[in-house]
Amino acid sequence: MSSEHNSAQRGELEREVGHALARVLKTVFGYDSFRPLQREIMQASLEGRDAVAVLPTGAGKSLCYQLPALVREGLTVVASPLIALMKDQVDQMQAAGVAATFINSTLDGDEFRARCAALDRGEHRILYVAPERLVTPEFLARLARWKVAALAVDEAHCISEWGHDFRPEYRQIRAVRRAFPHAPVLALTATATPGVRSDIAAQLELRDPAVFVASFDRPNLAYRVVAKDDAREQVVAFIRSRGDESGIVYCQSRKAAESMAEALERAGVSARPYHAGLAQEVRARNQDAFLRDEVRVVAATIAFGMGINKPNVRFVVHADLPKNIEGYYQETGRAGRDGIASDCLLLYSRGDVAKHLHFLADMSDDGARAVAKAQLDQIVGFAESASCRRTALLGYFGEAREEANCGGCDNCLTPRETEVVTTDAQKLMSCVLRIEQKSGFRVGLQHLSEVLAGADTEKIRRWFHNELSTYGAGKDRPRASWVSLGRQLLQEGYLEIAGDGFAVVRVTERGLDALKSRSEIRVTKPIAPVAAERARERASTRRGAVAPLADADTALFDRLRALRKRLADTRGVPPYVVFSDVTLRALATEKPQSKDEFLAIVGIGEKKYADFGGDFATEIAGGG
């Protein structure tokens, strides 16, 4: 009887907590329902459980600790890696009426002491702080006075050497866990393979953590790969076709980022560069201009992006090949955080692959070089694949898709043609077999291409591969095209990576059968250069995307966007802190006038209605 009584009490408590969460979700944040896994993550944390939450960008990770902080007693401490992200999050919290603050190096002595005094008085529910400050003995002593009730670790993949953005200072966060063993820890990230998730739990010393992994699918994003011809010309034409939309262009080097920003400016597109070589104040100024919609485009290296909370990034262009799939997924994920259809364009060339290989050759650590080479092979395979790109991205994170056609990538929307390559494929596969037979080991596609082209290299001479019958059999094709053919045969299953830790190939059973039977070998054509204007696939009806505006509402939306910018400038915050594009679109469509009508709009809570409702009602009524 007692266990039944306890179970009933627990059920009643869960219902009360659930009601409290739903009430705060609506009154403070203006949302009627939770996104997938949000409620479960919040419930686990409020029950005192440690948890690891892997939610894709735009899935509402921050709300998973912000909302419980308003339901529980005490202070929720958030370890956050970037100063700009802290300020942005606090601006949004305060705009919604939440008592949140941050402590970082931008504060002078008086500001620091004032915020500490406010925390001493219990005036704040959420505190953002950088990991390196958080773990100092002095700061831990301060935390002991502030009734720490929970710890959230944002961008938690930074704690793992297996992740794509390892930061050693994150390893020290376990000191907070040890200092406040009663406080549940919530680790959040957008990208983490199973190995990284386990490492996060181990490094933070989580106790039997609940693990939540949402789908990695971003259905409102369209993925397209285009053969690179003239990157600057292609990017300029692509962006000029996008009206006044905002976006990010990722470049491999600082020089390329500068050059791209200059090319866009010359073409009449407002753009700024961002990379680690710029002075800190210049980086901050350029980022701020982008966040405030004062420039349309940032041309950047991978130094830009973590924690960028701008929801209306409508496109992400990779002008150069990323180093790995995880980084590519993270960077493309900065598009369409608001759920509105957005596009991800990758310009691809074998020349970019050669540049990466050159960098890898300079690495002194053999193990690190092998890992980097394997990651490069994965992103090259993704770029050259004729299969669904969404399926490939999800598969990398261990998630399967049932639908054969995603309706949101170039390979599904416009499948590439096939071509017959029987003779050349026979030459390449024969070369693979001849080398293995003569030398007793396997080689990669680069060496195979050199043998077929009849190159005079030190390795060819040392291994006597110039004595093979296939040496020089492919002089009529450039070496790069032999490598490309090799990758096509890998995609079609005639070749496979040998799987012994090196990027070497062997002929599969399918390939051997094709050689013996001399049957026709057909492969998908490689991606070809296309006009940049055609590289854009409009996705307004894409599955999972926010519905497009009707033509009649577009003029009102533009007026509301201008009003939002004026109000944001007055407050010194980015426009999306006032209202997101999704909220503006709903306002332009529904045209509310009363308080109840405004509060029914997604993203409008009590505080935002009190601050902005009157101005927007006037504009909607046509009195602006």
pLDDT in tens, 214-255: 998 999 999 999 988 889 999 999 999 998 899 999 999 999
Model's pTM, two decimal places?
0.80
Is 3.40.50.300 the CATH number for 221-413? yes
pLDDT above 90 as % of the chain: 65
Residue 153, C-beta contacts closer than 8 angstroms, at least 6 positions apart: 78, 79, 159, 170, 173, 185, 186, 187, 188, 204
* pLDDT attached to residue 306: 67
pLDDT in tens, 450-494: 999 999 999 999 999 999 999 999 999 998 889 889 988 987 889
335: tokens are 């598009």
Architecture (CATH level 2) of domain 551-620: Orthogonal Bundle (1.10)
**Cα→Cα distances 109→106, 327, 375, 403, 415, Å:** 10, 38, 46, 57, 61
pLDDT in tens, 552-599: 588 899 999 999 999 999 999 999 999 999 999 999 999 999 999 999
**Cα→Cα distances 441→160, 181, 345, Å:** 35, 55, 39
* pLDDT attached to residue 13: 62
* Distant-in-sequence contacts of 601-605, Cβ < 8 A, 24+ apart: 601/30, 602/30, 602/31, 602/32, 603/29, 603/30, 603/31, 603/579, 604/30, 604/579, 605/26, 605/27, 605/28, 605/29, 605/30, 605/96, 605/97
Architecture (CATH level 2) of domain 418-524: Orthogonal Bundle (1.10)
Residue with tokens 């890998």: 490
The reply to whether 15-213 and 551-620 are identical in fold is no
CATH number for the domain formed by residue range(s) 15-213: 3.40.50.300
> How high is the mean pLDDT of the chain?
89
* pLDDT attached to residue 536: 46
* pLDDT attached to residue 10: 61
Domain boundaries defined on the chain: 15-213, 221-413, 418-524, 551-620
**Span 416-432, average pLDDT:** 94
8: tokens are 């009933």
Task: Give the least confident one: 283-287, 320-324, 548-552, 620-624.
Answer: 548-552
pLDDT in tens, 488-542: 898 788 998 775 445 688 999 999 999 999 999 999 887 766 544 444 444 444 5
**Span 60-88, average pLDDT:** 91
**Span 96-116, average pLDDT:** 93
- Alpha-helical (H) ranges within 47-130 are 63-71, 83-95, 109-120
**Span 607-622, average pLDDT:** 94
Alpha carbon distance 542, 344 (integer Å): 14
* pLDDT attached to residue 163: 62
**Span 413-430, average pLDDT:** 93
**Span 354-360, average pLDDT:** 83
